[in-house]
Amino acid sequence: MKAVVFASAAGRQWIKLTAGVRARITPKLEAYAAFGTGDVKRLKGQAGCRLRIGDYRVIFFEDRQTMTVIAVGHRREI
């Protein structure tokens, strides 16, 4: 399983989300980190990937051991 690390800006965005939304995002984020499953696409025009959870998106970079979240929020804000 890859370690999930939040960048400072993503950490602030994470705290602003409601508890219910965080509860929906957390299992999907952990499932991707552990097994590589989920609705993930590479970003066009820039490096990174996005994980889709309903109307919410998690933008991240990954390497062999870590998954660095750089943005998290509603799709209209990301």
Mind listing the pLDDT tens digit for each residue in 36-63?
Answer: 999 999 999 999 999 999 999 999 999 9
Angle at 49 between CA 46 and CA 52, to 5 degrees: 130
Q: Looking at residue 67, what is its pLDDT?
A: 96
The domain 3-74 belongs to what CATH superfamily?
A: RelE-like (3.30.2310.20)
pLDDT of 55 reads 97
pTM beyond 0.85, yes or no: yes
The residue whose two tokens read 């399983």 is 1
Which two structure tokens, joined as six digits, stand for 28? 């999907």
Residue 78 pLDDT level (bands cut at 50, 70, 90): confident
